Chain A
Amino acid sequence: MDESRYAVNTGDSSHHHKASNGSLGRYKVSTWHWKALLFFAIALRAAVAFHPYSGERTPPMYGDYEAQRHWMEITLNLPAKDWYKDTSDNNLSYWGLDYPPLSAYASFATGWFVSLVDPAAVALHDSRGYETQTSRAAMRLSVVVTDLLVFFPSLLACVYVVYKKSKPGSSFSCWCECGSELFRSAAFCLSLPALLLVDHAHFQYNNVSLGLFLAALTCFVKEHDVLGSAFFCAAIYFKHMLMYYALAIFAFLVSRMFRLYKGRGAMAAGLYAAKILATIITISCLIFAPWLMDGELLRGMLVRLFPISRGLYEDKVANVWCSVSVLFKVNRWLAGKSLFLFCAIITLLASLPFCVGVSLQPSPTRLLLATFGCSLSAYLFSFQVHEKQILIPLTPIAALHGRYPVLSTWMSIAAAFSLFPLLLREGSASAYAASIAIHVVTAISTPPKFMGFGGHTRRERQFMQWFVLGNATVAVVLNFVLIFGRPPASAPDIFVLLNTAFAGMHFVLIYVVSVFLVFTA
């Protein structure tokens, strides 16, 4: 509710003008505004959480909610050695743990929290498909709590440092003086519909892994590279899909090392590399400690983490392979290992410009753009992609909202749109529409600074208007077709495919724009 107050793009030009000058004049953001924003973000999450979760009341397998609950049950009741092993107490074919250990530890912690409220919800064997009002509320609350503990602080810190880096002065006490721009960016990031819907409606803990990643970014920007790599490692050990970022981070760190080498010699560079390597090894050893001694266990875990046998994509995803599958099917043309290799090579090629861009100049903006670009390439071209993985590219570009408001808004809405088929299936279509509306009202409050050149002349503004209006109309029509349309029997998935392909088209466009940006930022 508070962010709407800053929504100045209301059609009267005087206010529009004031906003583009950077400060909103008499609007001074006080600490109470920040408190209001945080509480409103919580209220928004609580409101989205009223909607159905994945697999609600659909035995025998249920959905992601049941997976998370089952992991709590397993981690809480079994010793760590048995978590990834098929035993009489742990049937791996029923939502066996397939996330890295840090995620399992988090399941242990949230499971402990849930067991405080309702022990029956995480009882071994007996709790399968356990769905009561109280346990549901406890599970939902646990996501909000992880949001508060991990995602909110690191998000705010990241938005702050990225914003501050382009302005002089860096004392932490000037949160308030930074004023409404920073506030607006924070409001934008706290209301990302895609993240809200996946974590709080569909039910997952992406907020933790993405929060750890944002913490890593914050450290990198503040030039605490060792701490940053530790956080990044932790993020990957929470959700290994965050390896989508790895190329960009690697290029960034190598470039920093190279600069050290040029500036202060080989010793400094070597020490730098050694410190980072030592950190990574220490963190890995700590996290994998229960399984380290037993090679068999470790291999079993890795097989569970990387299910190469599972196919090119899951369901219908807004990536390139799925979108072009109408015309020709890549997985018919190639199979097994060669398909996997083919995807890997294309992904590498697509990520290359970003790696080069960030290596040439390891600035904060380029770092964020590179992580965005690499993860978007991975989403578009890599093997075994889920629709929910769009959150991975979304996070860094959202944190850049202060610099590229139009691009990040575009990405945010396209990401939410790409999730629509999933949400419709789960019965949260109204939550989808409502959270996008709330987000958009926040987003239109920022003046268009499209790629640094948009919106200056009348023609550009007009083009922007038509582009936004036209695409929004198509998107709404496609959504309605999916809800009400009856697909022909020969192509039952055609409407889903149309939706995801439209989103995929936008992702490709955004990809092209960001390639351009990473070299000009």
Chain B
Amino acid sequence: MKNDPVFWRVVQVALISVSLKVLLFPTSFSTDLHVHRNWKAITYNRPLSHWYTESTSKWTLDYPPMFAYLEYVLSHVLRPFDPSLTRLVVEDVVTDRSVTLLRMSVLLAEVSLMYSVYHILFTLHKHGKLSPSRTHIASVLLLLCPGLTLVDNIHFQYNALPISMLLLTLSHLINDQKHFACITFCVALNLKHTLLPLVPTVSIYLLATLPRETASAIRTLSSLFVVTVATLIVPWLPFCVVGGWQYIGSICSRLFPFDRGLLHANWAPNFWSLYALVDRILLRVFPKASAPLITSGRIGESAPFAHLPNPTPTVCTALIIMSTTLVLLRLFRDPSVENLLTSTAYNLQAAFMFGWHVHEKAALLPLYPLLVAAMVNDDLRFPFFLFSLASQFALFELVRKPAESMFITAHFLAYHAFVAAELPIRSSSKYAVLVYAVGLVFAEAYCGVVGIHRMLFADQLQFLPILFVSVYSSLGVIASFLALVHRFVHLPLESQESAVS
């Protein structure tokens, strides 16, 4: 490691990153901290058979089994330092000591992210895709992403963990270590099931890079199948043993809450946010007696729209599949590193665009592969920059507190100034980014915690800034998505390119 140019660069950035996150320990957290504390209490106090049925507190466990095991381990590690951490109670109570311990446990997830960042950057360096100095820049951009800091270290979640598994999967795929890739991907799925839309991408890449001869292809395929099924199923087995198929069914209904409605409380900045806006405008123009009330959130409404057709989960899934088919075909024909990264980013973005009940936090998943792809491929800088601005701005809605806002705004600006310095866009599309960024400044001035809206209306019309942020961000996200589509349509395949030249 002493002569590894990537390692020490990542270590330096990692030190800064950890220190910055330690500084954020006293920030104000959201209810998600209570959620995760409660999950630790559940897994500590209850037998396996009651993990997914326990409902003393309203924060019931709704993450896949691997995450439940992780909470189990963490609860046993942390309990000696503060027994009140694992009290199973109805109310949201937490001691200062518990908060510090929980914040520290997030740093453990962060360590896993650091390792995966090192891994993928080393791989890309080894394959000649990144120079040592570019890996340094990439590690800054990957480890000091304000969006992840906001969600993980202020708001409180463990997103660094699934993201690190995703990066490891990509790294193994590039390294052609198919079995490791399968294992890490299954772990990722078992940590965060919102990675499911990536299954076609990974499988198609695996298929496309199988050995040429049929015999060894079949051997590889079968061993991959065994490994995949094993890692995918094994975490579920204990639940099946203690509770039978019925228990598995109830876990699944927890994981996929289709009854929660299309839109999350804060509209995630995606296609449906614009769709909902159009519906609202139509409702203004053509009032309807039986229209659903306009509130900031519409959790659990199966039919939120008054004029436009109300989509079902099937429609959402169909939209995702339709928008990704061509890209997947392309990946099958040309399984290059660039194409793998771009398709991964694109497919996750498509899932974010059209998915059912998407959270704004889910935007972090496409952001990371898109960043890696933009580091490798200059053409993707424009969609990355736009997506990064829009999706991370939408996360500001999670912390509307003065001190936290100041920190995250400065961090956001520093990050994007650094992106502008290191990933400059050379085409005229940079003006589009500039215009969008200026718009963001106005949006923040209006919606911010000491913004114009709160000065004018105090606490009235609270939905207005939230709606404004989500719609403006969704414009950026959609533009970035279309830019990716445009790239896919206009770029010749590598094989064709070589044929022409």
Q: Which residues of A contact B (CB under 8 A)?
A: 1-2, 4-5, 7, 10-12, 15, 26-27, 30, 32-33, 35-40, 42-44, 46-52, 117, 133-134, 136-138, 140-141, 144, 430-431, 433-435, 437-438, 441
Contact = CB atoms under 8 A, between A and B. Distances in A.
B168 to A, nearest CB: 23
A7 B23 contact: no
Contact of B23 (A39, A51, A140): A51
Select the residue from A1, A15, A50, A430 with max chain B CB neighbours within 10 A. Answer: A1
B24 A437 contact: no
Contact of A140 (B17, B136, B403): B403
A43 B421 contact: no
A35 B136 contact: no
A11 B23 contact: no
B402 A134 contact: yes
Interface in B400-458: 401-403, 406-407, 410-411, 413-415, 417-418, 420-422, 424, 450
A133 B15 CA distance: 30
B403 A36 contact: no
B140 interface: yes
Contact of B12 (A10, A35, A44, A138): A10
B23 A434 contact: yes
16 contacts: A1-B415, A4-B140, A5-B140, A10-B5, A10-B9, A12-B5, A15-B5, A15-B132, A26-B133, A27-B133, A36-B415, A39-B413, A48-B23, A50-B25, A434-B22, A435-B19
A40 B19 contact: no
Contact of B15 (A35, A37, A39, A441): A441
A44 B17 CA distance: 11
A188 to B, nearest CB: 14
B321 interface: no
A50 B28 CA distance: 9
Given A42-B410, A48-B23, A33 B421 contact: yes
Contacts of A40: 410-411, 414
B20 interface: yes
A49 B27 CA distance: 10
B337 interface: no
Contact of A32 (B9, B25, B144, B417): B417
Contact of A43 (B133, B136, B410, B450): B410
Interface in B8-37: 8-9, 12-13, 15-20, 22-27
A76 to B, nearest CB: 20
Contacts of A133: 401-403
A120 to B, nearest CB: 16
A433 B22 contact: yes
B23 A30 contact: no
Contact of B22 (A2, A7, A35, A430): A430
Contact of B418 (A32, A42, A431): A32
Given A1-B16, A7-B9, 8 more contacts: A1-B414, A10-B12, A12-B132, A27-B133, A32-B418, A50-B407, A133-B402, A138-B402
Contacts of A5: 136-137, 140, 422
A2 B8 contact: no
> Nearest 9 pairs between A and B by C-beta?
A39-B414, A32-B421, A137-B402, A10-B8, A36-B417, A46-B407, A43-B410, A434-B19, A47-B23
A141 B421 CA distance: 27
Contacts of B486: none
B2 interface: yes
B203 to A, nearest CB: 36
User: Which of A4, A44, A117 is the most central at the interface, judged by chain B CB atoms within 10 Å of its CB?
Assistant: A4
B277 to A, nearest CB: 31
Nearest to A439: B19
A46 B410 contact: yes
A36 B421 contact: yes
A49 B13 contact: no
Contacts of A2: 140, 414, 418, 421
A479 to B, nearest CB: 15
B498 interface: no
Contacts of B413: 35, 39
B95 interface: no
Nearest to A196: B23
Contacts of A144: 406
A420 to B, nearest CB: 16
Contacts of A50: 23-27, 403, 407
B314 interface: no
B290 interface: no
B16 A137 contact: no
A275 to B, nearest CB: 42
A138 B403 CA distance: 9
B385 to A, nearest CB: 12
A27 B137 CA distance: 11
Interface string B132-149: 110011001000100000
B15 A43 contact: no
B495 interface: no
B402 A32 contact: no
B3 interface: yes
Nearest to A33: B421
A26 B407 CA distance: 32
Contacts of B27: 50
Given A10-B8, A12-B8, A43 B411 contact: yes
Nearest to A430: B22
Contacts of B450: 117
A1 B144 CA distance: 7
Contacts of B12: 4, 7, 10, 441
B441 to A, nearest CB: 13
Contacts of A33: 417-418, 421
Nearest to A31: B421
Nearest to A51: B26
A1 B140 contact: yes
Nearest to B137: A5
A54 to B, nearest CB: 15
Contacts of B144: 1
Nearest to A117: B450
A175 to B, nearest CB: 14
A33 B420 CA distance: 8
Given A1-B140, A5-B140, A36 B23 contact: no
Contacts of B25: 50, 430
A287 to B, nearest CB: 32
Contact of A11 (B8, B415, B421): B8
A47 B24 contact: yes
Nearest to A40: B414
Contacts of B417: 32-33, 35-36, 39
B11 to A, nearest CB: 8
A29 B113 CA distance: 29
Nearest to A137: B402
Contacts of A137: 401-403, 406
Nearest to B5: A12
A52 B144 CA distance: 24
Given A4-B16, A32-B418, A36-B418, A141 B8 contact: no
B13 A4 contact: yes
Nearest to A50: B26
Nearest to A48: B23
Contacts of A44: 20, 23
Given A1-B140, A46-B407, A431 B414 contact: no
Residue in A47, A48, A133 whose Cβ sees the most chain B Cβ within 10 Å: A47
Nearest to A46: B407
A47 B153 CA distance: 12
